Structure formats: C-alpha cells, structure tokens
C-alpha cells in the first residue's frame, strides 16, 4: 500500500519557469489537499479538492493551479515560479474533509522546491 | 468549525511526561479533535483523535475536557525521538493546520 506519493522529491527552477508537482493516492480518498511549509513555519493550505472535478482555494492559492480529473491524482501547477515559492510542498488525502471518526489525514513525504 | 490555539514551543526532559495543550473553544458538537506530529520536515503523521472521551493508544493519551473546549496530548515517557512539531486540529475546519507546538525533548 503506497499511500500518498509525491514526485519529484527535489526540484530547482529558474524564476518564470512553470512546473507540475504530482500527487497520487491509492486509498480511494475523496479529499485531497496541497500545503506549503516555509522554514520554521506551520502548514499552509494552498488548494484542496473534495472529489473528482471539484477544487477550491485554500489560504495561499495565488500562483498555483490545481485540477482533479480522477480520484487518485491531484497535481499542483506553478504557473510562473517566483523565489517566494521556494518551500516544501506536502500533498495529503483523507476519506472526507469533515466530521467523521477515522478521518485521518495521510501525507506524502514532501517535495522540496527551490526557485532561483 | 474549530479554530485551535497551541503554545508556540515547549521543552520536556527525557523520560518525563510531555503534556501538550490545545484550546478549541469553538469546536462543534460532532467535531473530532485530531493530533498529528511532524518530525524534522517529514510529512506529518497521525497520533490520536477523540470526540468526548479520553483516548489512549500505543503512542499517546488524549484528555478532552468535559466542555470539549480544550484537550491535552500526553506523551507518557518522552524520548529524544519525540522532538517534533505537534498539531491539534478539529476535523471540521477543512484541514487547515496552525503553526503547532514545537516540542523539544532534552537529555
């Protein structure tokens, strides 16, 4: 059981380049989300999805796009990378986004992104 | 939806109990409290959750006050490997995490 898989693990981008961080889960979870974590800071929600075809903005959505064409995949796109987007990115999934016992959130191992 | 408040940092001596508080005074009646921890930039991992009753598992104990406005995560015998950031969240808040509590276990 792979859980939540993120790729790539490390990436260096030049300012203005675009790229996609991939996230896949094999637990048939409806809810998926992306977070960024800057050094010494907590997790900030970028975008989330409550099911295939449905996405919504989190706390810090600017500069990022998402789509959810399948239950399994939730890619995060950086449209035009900026140094301020240098961060560690975590993808997560759970059965639902609210109000259930056993609604544990599972995280990927993180993607380290540096924009120069 | 519950907004949670946690102390920024705490220290604990190795072998002693670590008691991490969380305030969630706006929690709704059917909203569970979940605790996660994040060790050194790894992905956060689930520790324990509860609704009304106290809970215990192999990792920790969770004490929830009768009015459900606060809870305490207890690591009964903290080790150096328990040094991490601990997050308390209500599961009706669309998975928004705060800054958590940075626990440092000292020899």
pLDDT in tens, B59-91: 999 999 999 999 999 999 999 999 999 999 987
The string of DSSP letters for A35-60 reads EEE-TT---EEEEEEEETTEEEE-SS
Closest residue on chain B to A40 (Cα): B99
* A116 alpha carbon, distance to own chain's centre: 21
Higher-scoring residue by pLDDT: A111, B25: A111
Q: What is the pLDDT of residue A103?
A: 79
Closest residue on chain A to B100 (Cα): A42
CB of A60 less than 8 A from some CB of B = no
Q: What is the pLDDT of residue A40?
A: 84
Q: What is the pLDDT of residue A97?
A: 63
Cβ pair B85:A105 closer than 8 A: no
Residue in A90, A94, A103 closest to B43 by CB: A90
pLDDT truncated to tens, each residue of chain A (116 aa)? 679 999 999 999 999 999 999 999 999 999 999 999 998 888 999 999 999 999 999 999 999 999 999 999 999 999 999 999 999 999 999 987 665 556 789 999 999 999 99
* B residues 18-77 closer than 8 Å to A (CB): 30-32, 34, 36, 41-46, 49, 51
């Amino acid at each position: 059981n792979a859980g939540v898989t993120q790729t790539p693990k490390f990436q260096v981008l030049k300012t203005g380049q675009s790229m996609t961080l991939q996230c896949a889960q094999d637990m048939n979870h409806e809810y998926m989300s992306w977070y960024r974590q800057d050094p010494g800071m907590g997790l900030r929600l970028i975008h989330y999805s409550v099911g295939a075809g449905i996405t919504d903005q989190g706390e810090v959505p600017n500069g990022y796009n998402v789509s959810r064409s399948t239950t399994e995949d939730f890619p995060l796109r950086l449209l035009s990378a900026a140094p301020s987007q240098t961060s560690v990115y975590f993808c997560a999934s759970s059965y639902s986004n609210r109000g259930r016992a056993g609604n544990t959130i599972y995280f990927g191992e993180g993607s380290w992104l540096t924009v120069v | 939806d519950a907004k949670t408040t946690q102390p920024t940092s705490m220290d604990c001596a190795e072998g002693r109990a670590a008691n991490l508080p969380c305030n969630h005074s706006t929690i709704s009646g059917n909203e569970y409290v979940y605790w996660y921890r994040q060790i050194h930039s790894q992905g956060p991992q689930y520790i324990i959750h509860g609704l009304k009753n106290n809970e215990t598992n192999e990792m920790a104990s969770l004490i929830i006050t009768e009015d459900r406005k606060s809870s305490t995560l207890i690591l009964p015998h903290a080790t150096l490997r328990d040094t991490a950031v601990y997050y308390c969240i209500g599961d009706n808040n669309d998975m928004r995490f705060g800054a958590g509590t940075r626990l440092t276990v000292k020899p």
